[in-house]
Structure 1
């Protein structure tokens, strides 16, 4: 019985340590997510600008000839 109680006590301590460690690093990957979102936004913005300029230049070239 003592062995069972010691095992359960150790399990409880390890579980509490894991919960404490997980709650301390709640914002650990947040900067990475923010960088990925900014890069995605900038790529999308570059695509929109490229499409606009490409259409505008093609339209002007068509009216020249």
Structure 2
């Protein structure tokens, strides 16, 4: 049973997240021939204040870009 876990910053629409999950699901089925019913896709949305990249949170980067 393949399980794909995706961590992504908050802020995308539910339609976008559903599209992402569907595309990843189909990619796993195509790539390894897994039965559709056995593929699991889990998306975890992370607040921008809790995602650090390059020494700054995503929230800090966004605030700096606006300044």
What is the TM-score normalised by the length of structure 1? 0.32
User: Which has the larger share of strand?
Assistant: 2
Greater relative contact order, per chain length (Cα 8 Å cut-off, separation 6+): 2
User: Which has the larger share of helix?
Assistant: 1
